[in-house]
Amino acid sequence: MSPADAPLFSIVTPVFDTDPAQLREMVDSVLAQHSGDWQLLLVDDCSTSAATIEALTVIQDLDPRITVVRRSTNGRISAATNTGLEAAAGTFVVLVDHDDTLSPAVLAVAAAAIAADEAVDYLYSDEDKIDDEGGLSGAFAKPRWSPARLLSQMYTSHVSIIRTALLREVGGFRSDYDGSQDHDAILRVTERARSIVHLGEVLYHWRATAGSTAIDVREKDYAWDAGLRAVSEAVGRRRLAGVAEPGRLPGTYRIAWSLPTAVSLVLCIDDDTEAQRATDAVVALTTGVETDVELVVVHAPAVSEATLQRFEETPTSRRVFVPAPSDSSSAARNIGFSHSTADVVVFVDTRIESVAVDSLANLTGPLSQPDVGAVGARLLDTSGHILHAGFRYARGDYRRPYSGRAADAAGEANALVVDREVSAVSAMLVAVDRFGFESVGGWNEGLRGEIADLDLGRKFAWLGRRVLWSASAEAVVDRRPEDADTADEHAAGLFARWGEPTDDPYIP
């Protein structure tokens, strides 16, 4: 891109009684940009500090691209940011806090991404934290665009670069959401954005000082409250079948999903010893559930008639028993699906020992969104550790990256307590949309175990459907040894089918 073709970036920074040294650090990081196509709008929200006012006077004379906009009244963060938005001449607005700093490359990297995709309306980068001595730590390698995660937490945060016309179109920032005004604005922006780009490198340094949410979001409980209201409004605006609630940790949120009108459960059993636990799993999923639940039991020849009779006691409205013609778990699941009738189908593994309350709703509810193809559960083993929290399909291999962590672990950037997009989920407890599942041809019967799960995830992605991991649909599962004798063979088949992965879009 030639300099003449680069977009003009309007960097908007509200200022109120900022420490002059930190303000100057922020300004110096703008002056150091590799791209010179910017204007810096410092919006003084009626500072009372003589040192801040003097610093702004000095800074304004450093470069003609710097403008200090002085407000006549103190309006707080949203009002001050909107004042900057009104004065912005750039095609894109860059949101920078008054005490944070930018990487010198941020505008050049953003300009290159915009040149590659003229429809891009919102860009966000990875970030880390900077202390008062200039030390950097806590790098957050973010996923690519993950709308479920944005409903669960403000993960895009810094740096946010927004097409100016779109930000104005959605109404800019709203003072009623101060504390989480960025989250509220980005929820509205991304509902209309044509293209959203993740800049996968650390381009923003967030100041970590006492009293800052960069250190502990609990320092500002009002921000959590404002964020909940923003998410709740987004749920209503999008007509999602659920209710927003506070998440497990400050700064996180969850959707309590409503059940669809009908659900089919598919259960595949190989022998009589599995029957009692399988019955218990079905009972746990369906007890107290106010919806039409159909149970499809696919059974191997070794399963007795007496065992099948146990399933007649489950609280399901309809039961279908289907003989399994082979020992392939993928083939058995496909047969079960073909005998089901609901638009939402849940595959249930016989290893499940217990299920958390409302798991069926939280597993199936997200499928009311037309672009969601599958939703997998948070799976724990009997020792109280994470077993499955989404697959990472990258670096020429596949992994369960969070396996073995304590059940109460939050994970990097709270990844283990928020709903989010993933490349694939475990088949042990997964809900699928009927049309999407049929469109991708169901489970690949030539693949076994987790390899088939990964293949299904890749097929949904190919179809343009999202695969979600639910932090609120939870089950305890009996851990068993993996199929080590076939894993390598089938992984090779998976890579031959889809290519060897270089990086996972959602889990670094």
pLDDT digits (tens, 9 = 90+) for 158-210: 999 999 999 999 999 999 999 999 999 999 999 999 999 999 999 999 998 65
What's the one-letter identity of residue 23? L
Same domain for 170 and 221?
yes
Same domain for 434 and 328?
yes
pLDDT digits (tens, 9 = 90+) for 427-484: 999 999 999 999 999 999 988 888 999 999 999 999 999 999 999 999 999 876 553 4
Looking at the DSSP assignment, which residues form a beta bridge with residue 301? none
Burial of 63 (0-12, 13-18, 19+ CB in 10 A): middle
- State residue 216's pLDDT score: 53
Residues 451 and 491: beta-carbon distance below 8 Å: yes
Same domain for 175 and 271?
no
* Structure tokens given for 201: 């490198």
Task: Provide the strand spans (E) within 45-107.
Answer: 66-70, 92-95, 101-102
Cα–Cα distance for residue pair 331/300, rounded to 1 Å: 12
- DSSP string of 263-283, one letter each residue: EEEEEEE-SGGGHHHHHHHHH
Same domain for 141 and 276?
no
- State residue 487's pLDDT score: 53
Measured CA distances, 209 to 17, 178, 216, 287, 398 (Å): 15, 20, 10, 49, 38
Q: What's the CATH number where 426 sits?
A: 3.90.550.10
Residue 501 domain flag: no
Same domain for 108 and 180?
yes
Spans of the chain, pLDDT less than 50: 1, 215, 483-486
Question: Which domain, by its residues, includes 300?
Answer: 262-480
**Domain-ending residue, one of 237, 254, 289:** 237
Cα–Cα distance for residue pair 473/350, rounded to 1 Å: 17
Dihedral, CA atoms, 127, 128, 129, 135, nearest 10 degrees? -130
- State residue 482's pLDDT score: 53
- State residue 485's pLDDT score: 42
Residue 250 domain flag: no
Cα–Cα distance for residue pair 205/202, rounded to 1 Å: 8
**Domain-ending residue, one of 237, 252, 282:** 237
Same domain for 160 and 304?
no
- State residue 296's pLDDT score: 96
Q: What is the DSSP letter of 406?
A: B
Cα–Cα distance for residue pair 379/387, rounded to 1 Å: 5
- Tokens 């030539």: give the residue: 446
Looking at the DSSP assignment, which residues form a beta bridge with residue 70? 44
Residues 328 and 349: beta-carbon distance below 8 Å: no
Same domain for 198 and 311?
no
- State residue 36's pLDDT score: 85
What's the one-letter identity of residue 69? V
Q: Name residues whose C-beta falls within 8 Å of residue 463's C-beta, 6 or more positions apart in sequence.
A: 373, 436, 439, 440
Report which of 213, 205, 173 is spatially closest to residue 45, judged by C-alpha positions. Answer: 173
